[in-house]
Amino acid sequence: LRDCIARGIQGHRELVNYRKNGTTYWVELSVVPVRDDRGVLTHWIAIERDISDRKAQEKEIERLAMEDHLTGLLNRRAAEARLEVEWSRARREKSPFAVALVDADRFKLVNDQYGHHVGDQVLIHLARTLESNLRGGDWIARWGGEEFLMCLHGLDARGAVNAGERARKFVKSNPVPIAVGSLPITVSIGIVLYSSQVDSIEQLLAEADALLYEAKHTGRD
C-alpha cells in the first residue's frame, strides 16, 4: 500500500489490524486517490472491510484439507509435504531422522467380525496411542487405511529400532475398549533411518514399506 500511495495509484490489500483491546482481525483495505479537475491529487479515500469470518473459513478449509477426518492426525497429503521439509533439513543440517510405517495387524478381521464402526474405533484408539508415545518434535500421520507414518528425530539405527519396539509394546499393552469388552490390537512396523546415500523420499518410503511387508510376513507384532 505504501508503494501505491507513493505512486498515486489505487491499492488493495488484505492485512491484519488491531482493535483497541489489542485483539487482531483481518481487513480488506482499499485506498483510492482523488484528484481535482486538473488531475492534481488532493486526498485519499480509504475503505476498510472486516473479512475475519472469511479468513476463518479459509483457515478451516485449509486445515480440513490437511487433516484426516477420522483420527484428526495429519493426512497423507500433509505428511508428504512435511517429509519434504524433513528431507531438506536433513540434507542441509546433517540432522538424522527415521521414518516408521505402522500397520494394524489383521485389521480386516476386526471389520468383518465387529463391523466398520468398531474398525473406526480401533483406528482412533491406535492413533491416540501412537501419538501419546511420541517424544517432543516427533510427529505422526495417517498414511492410509490402517497404516500410519511416524517421523522420529535425532536417532541412530539402534535408537530408531528401540523407538519402534516401544511403540509396538505400548500398542499391545493398551487394548481398545469396545462395547463387549476390550479388543487386543497389535501392529507391525517397518523403520528406515535417513542417510545421505538414500536418493529420495520415495526410496526411503519404499524401504520402510518393504520392511513392514517383511514384518507382516514373518509373524506380525
Active site positions, annotated: 146
Q: Which residue has the cell 481398545?
A: 176
Contacts of 95 (CB under 8 A, 6+ apart): 89, 153, 154
Residue 109 dihedral angles phi and psi, to the nearest 5°: -65, -35
Interacting residues of 74 by C-beta distance below 8 A, sequence separation 6+: 66, 67, 68, 82, 139, 140, 141, 142
CA-to-CA dists, residue 98 to 63, 94, 163, angstroms? 26, 13, 10
Q: Give the number of C-alpha atoms closer than 13 A to the C-alpha of residue 221, restricted to the C-beta side.
A: 10
DSSP, collapsed to helix, strand or coil, labels residue 185 as coil
> Quick check: 115 and 220 in contact, CB under 8 A?
no
Report the distance separating Cα 164 and Cα 169, nearest Å.
9
Q: What are phi and psi of 118, to 5 degrees?
A: -75, -35
Residue for grid cell 480488506:
28
